[in-house]
Every structure is written in C-alpha cells, then in structure tokens.
Structure 1
C-alpha cells in the first residue's frame, strides 16, 4: 500500500500505471484500489472519490496514448 501525503494526480497516475494492481491512500481523499492499471470505483463512492478516480484514470489514458 502506497501512501501519498499530497494529492498530486500525475504522480498517482504514474504509480498506478507502473504497479498495475494494489491499493493506495491519498491524505485527505481516502483509500483507493487499482487493478489492470486503472483505479477502480469504490461501491460506496462519494462525489469526491468519483472526481478523483475520473481525473486519475483520464491521466493514465492520456499517458498510454502518448506512448
């Protein structure tokens, strides 16, 4: 489990893309899990969680299209 002290979307996206599956925690945002190189939407996601998941997954998609 990786713990991020600050929410830095690009850093989180790089971590998720490299490690492919696992869990992470973002201080002030909460815990997230990821599989197949993308963050998985939690079942009981609050609007803040949904926004974070969407933002990070968009960055991952952009990174994959550039490579």
Structure 2
C-alpha cells in the first residue's frame, strides 16, 4: 500500500498505471483501490472520492493515448 502525503493527480496516475493493481491512500482524500491500471470507484463513495477517481482515471487515459508529433 502506497501512502501519498498530498494529492498530486499526475503522480498518482503514473503510479496506478505502472503498478496495475493494489491499494493506495491519499492524505485528506482517503483509501482507494486500483485494478487493471485504473482507480476503482468505492461502493459507498462520497463526492470527494468520486471526483478523485474521475480525475485520476482521466489522466491515466491521457497518459495511455498516443502522443502526436507536430
């Protein structure tokens, strides 16, 4: 279980994408589980959990998208 002392969405997204499944804790936000490289929405999620899961999963999707070179 990884503990993040502050909420840094990009760092968390890279961690979840790299380690694929497990658990993590974000100070001030709570505990989260991730599977298949994405955060999983808890059964009884409050508004803060929902917004965190949505933001981190959106960033993971952006990290996985192929980058175009101009």
For the aligned pair, the TM-score class normalised by the smaller chain equals over 0.9
TM-score (norm 2): 0.93
Alignment partners' CA distance in 2, 1:49 and 1:66: 28
Superposed CA deviations along residues 9-64 of structure 1, whole A, max 9, x for unmatched, are 00000000000000000000000000000000000000000000000000000000
After the TM superposition, list the runs of 4 or more consecutive aligned residues in structure 1 that deviate by more than 4 angstroms. Answer: none
Q: Which has the larger radius of gyration?
A: 2
Cα RMSD after superposing both structures: 0.8
Aligned to 1:24: 24
Aligned to 1:48: 48
Aligned to 2:14: 14
Gap regions ≥5 residues in structure 1: none
For residue 5 of structure 1, report the CA deviation from its aligned partner.
0.1
Number of residue pairs matched?
A: 67
For residue 66 of structure 1, report the CA deviation from its aligned partner.
3.0
TM-score (norm 1): 0.98
